[in-house]
């Protein structure tokens, strides 16, 4: 069952479409921002050299490609497989699973496939962008001496690691990005319960995450929104682990209750 759901999540056209959209934004950023940067003088401010660690999409607050990517991440995360629960219900596939008494395994496999596919769809474009940026600009390590040129500060979350080993910092944040993408995709499970339309099921996490970002970005709870805490540059404020953990718990509980409710149903219409 797990292998089947993972295969369905990764080997479908919508997963490829999600990757294509994300990677297109990442590559456009390289050609429209990074490469022109390389053509300019080797120093900005005549004090600190340009670097892949300061110019990739995760470490800079502009241009438009970056905001567009993070704005679309809930859709990119849910598009690969967020529609599947509604689709299985309408097609009768869910009734077959329930008849065979494999509800728990199916729902666990569905949640795992959603989480992994969503995390992958969001993380891969940023990995592509960093690798592409590193092919154009040198990987000059950040130094506290040039602190005014970096989005991340020593007092930021993992800030000391950033200045000690920037590549390890990036790897750690890829894990956070993967977590954010997986959680946004998991939102499709509780949001699919009141919805019977596959398109609405895919866009519902986007609506929730957009509202969260709108109401938390300017306040003390900015790390509660996944589209905010997944930014390696921490340009909206330092990541607060307790708020990230709270969001994880909310999504986990909502998905768990929804799966429990679905497992208790005698039939699926």
Give ∠ CA 197-198-201 in degrees, rounded to 5: 90
Burial of 152 (0-12, 13-18, 19+ CB in 10 A): buried
Q: Of the candidates 267, 85, 120, which has an alpha carbon nearest to the alpha carbon of residue 190? A: 85
**Dihedral over alpha carbons 91, 96, 98, 103 (to 10 degrees):** -80
Q: Which residues of the chain have pLDDT under 70?
A: 39-48, 61-62, 101, 145-149, 218-220, 222, 236-238, 263-269
**Would you call 215 helix, strand, or coil by DSSP?**
helix
* DSSP H stretches of helix in 57-187: 64-78, 84-91, 93-99, 103-136, 159-164, 166-186
Q: What are phi and psi of 71, to 5 degrees?
A: -65, -35
- 203-224 as b/e, with b when 16 or more CB fall inside 10 Å? bbbbebbeebbeebeeeebbbb
Amino acid 226: pLDDT: 85
pTM of the model: 0.88
Question: Among candidates 70, 108, 106, which has minimal Cα distance to 236?
Answer: 70
Confidence (pLDDT) at 256: 83
Residues 192 and 81: their CA atoms lie apart, in Å, by 12
Would you state the pLDDT for residue 167?
Answer: 92
pLDDT at 107 (0 to 100): 85
CA 241 to chain CA centroid, nearest Å: 16
């Amino acid at each position: 069952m797990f292998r089947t759901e993972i295969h369905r999540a990764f080997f479908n056209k919508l997963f490829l479409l999600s990757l294509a959209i994300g990677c297109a934004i990442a590559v456009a950023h390289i050609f429209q921002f990074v490469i022109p940067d390389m053509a300019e003088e080797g120093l900005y401010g005549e004090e600190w050299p340009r670097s892949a660690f300061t110019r990739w999409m995760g470490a800079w607050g502009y241009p438009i490609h970056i905001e567009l990517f993070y704005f679309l991440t809930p859709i990119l995360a849910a598009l690969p497989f967020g529609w599947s629960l509604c689709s299985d219900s309408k097609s009768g596939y869910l009734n077959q699973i329930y008849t065979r008494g494999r509800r728990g395994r199916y729902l666990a496999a569905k949640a795992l496939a959603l989480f992994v596919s969503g995390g992958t769809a969001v993380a891969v474009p940023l990995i592509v962008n960093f690798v592409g940026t590193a092919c154009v600009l040198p990987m000059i390590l950040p130094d506290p001496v040039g602190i005014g040129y970096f989005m991340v500060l020593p007092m930021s979350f993992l800030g000391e690691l950033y200045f000690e080993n920037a590549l390890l910092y990036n790897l750690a944040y890829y894990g956070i990005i993967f977590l954010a993408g997986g959680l946004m995709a998991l939102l499709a499970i509780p949001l699919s319960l009141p919805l019977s339309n596959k398109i609405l099921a895919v866009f519902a996490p986007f609506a929730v995450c957009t509202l969260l970002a709108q109401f938390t970005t300017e306040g003390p709870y900015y790390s509660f929104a996944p589209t905010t805490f997944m930014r390696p540059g921490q340009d909206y404020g330092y990541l607060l682990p307790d708020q990230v953990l709270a969001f994880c718990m909310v999504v986990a509980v909502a998905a768990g209750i929804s799966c429990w409710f679905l497992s208790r149903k005698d039939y699926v219409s």
